Amino acid sequence: MNIKDFKKLCDVIYRRVGILIEERKYDSLSKKIEKLIKEKGYEDFRSFFHALRFKDETLMQDIINLVTVNETYFFRENYQFEVLINNILPQMDKELPSNEVIRILCSPTATGEEAYSIALHLLAEGKLVEKRDFEIIGIDIDSNVIAKAKRGIFSKRSVQFLPPNLLNKYFKKINDNYYEIDKFLRDVITFKVVNVMDKFAMKRLGKFNIIFCRNMLIYFDDKSRKEVAMTFYDMLKPKGYIFLGHAESMNRIVSVFKTVKIGNTIVYQKP
């Protein structure tokens, strides 16, 4: 696979799931991708790429698994958290009774960076958490990642986009490569192993004001995607919002959410 093919592949991955793979990764990833192409029985990159784009949805999952090891990180797609903190939550704060807890669900939470990022944004903003209570819950089907989220130890790479003041305030450097998040944060965020397809387990989590479901629905087939979208609809409180990954669109799945554009960010609201 030459560098041109690599760039083509990275472009498709970025458009589908929003993961940006830099050109400098070519040396470390190209051999792994070539191995996958061979394992899957394709003669060359061209036939593999064609199948990936038009025929075999599972190939995208394989290639994503291959390139996304530890790909999640703090403040990923940060513009969405900014919209949450600067627009949506202040509005909710005005509209909801002051004793009502604003509940936020992260699904799938993976190793917890997204849920902790929301908490860090709330703490950095400061005013909202002084006025009312917030609850953040992260769920994932994978028990290993939930254990990691609870442990709260993150690689240097995972925290690389955190503002230095937040990194210094809420993390303890363990060694040159790892940081541990403050115990207070580990204690206030709930992480649970839950399968989104398990409707009753999902219902037991209760109703939420905000759901983050980024880059998950793209891995499902149409039927499961609809089922999960309607489960989220049911789990949202009226006027609650759902955030999807930048390459995903709720309008292509179900039409019951209202599309709201805030700045350059699209969010979906339960009427």
Q: Which is nearer to other proteins, 27 or 187 (CB)?
A: 187
Interface residue with other proteins among 89, 136, 194, 213 (CB under 8 A) is 136
- Enumerate residues 227-266 that contact other proteins by CB under 8 A: 227, 229-230, 233-234, 238, 254-256
In this structure, how many other beta carbons lie within 10 angstroms of the beta carbon of residue 199?
15
Interface residue with other proteins among 8, 40, 53, 132 (CB under 8 A) is 132
- Enumerate residues 72-111 that contact other proteins by CB under 8 A: 101
Q: CB-based contacts of 194: which residues, under 8 Å, 6+ apart?
A: 107, 139, 140, 141, 201, 202, 205
CB of 270 to other proteins, least distance (A): 8
Give strand pairing partners of 266. 261
Q: Do 233 and 89 touch, CB atoms closer than 8 A?
A: no
Q: CB-based contacts of 255: which residues, under 8 Å, 6+ apart?
A: none
Q: Do 128 and 44 touch, CB atoms closer than 8 A?
A: no
Q: Which is nearer to other proteins, 92 or 119 (CB)?
A: 119
Give me the 178-217 binding string for other proteins, x by CB under 8 A, dash otherwise: -------x-xxxx--------xx--xxxxx----------
Q: CB-based contacts of 186: which residues, under 8 Å, 6+ apart?
A: 150, 151, 152
Total of chain residues touching other proteins, rule CB under 8 A: 36
Interface residue with other proteins among 43, 95, 130, 176 (CB under 8 A) is 130
Q: Which is nearer to other proteins, 148 or 199 (CB)?
A: 199
CB of 74 to other proteins, least distance (A): 16
Q: φ and ψ at 225, to 5 degrees?
A: -60, -45
Binding span for other proteins by CB under 8 A among 116-124, 138-146, 148-156, 174-182: 116-124
The reply on whether position 135 binds other proteins by CB under 8 A is yes
Measured CA to CA in angstroms, residue 71 lies from 48, 66, 184, 230 at distances of 23, 10, 25, 28
Written as six digits, the tokens of 76 are 């990923």
User: Beta strand pairing status for 178-181 and 153-155?
Assistant: antiparallel
Q: Which is nearer to other proteins, 103 or 246 (CB)?
A: 103
Written as six digits, the tokens of 159 are 């925290």
Footprint of other proteins on this chain (CB under 8 A)?
A: 101, 119, 122-123, 129-136, 185, 187-190, 199-200, 203-207, 222-223, 226-227, 229-230, 233-234, 238, 254-256
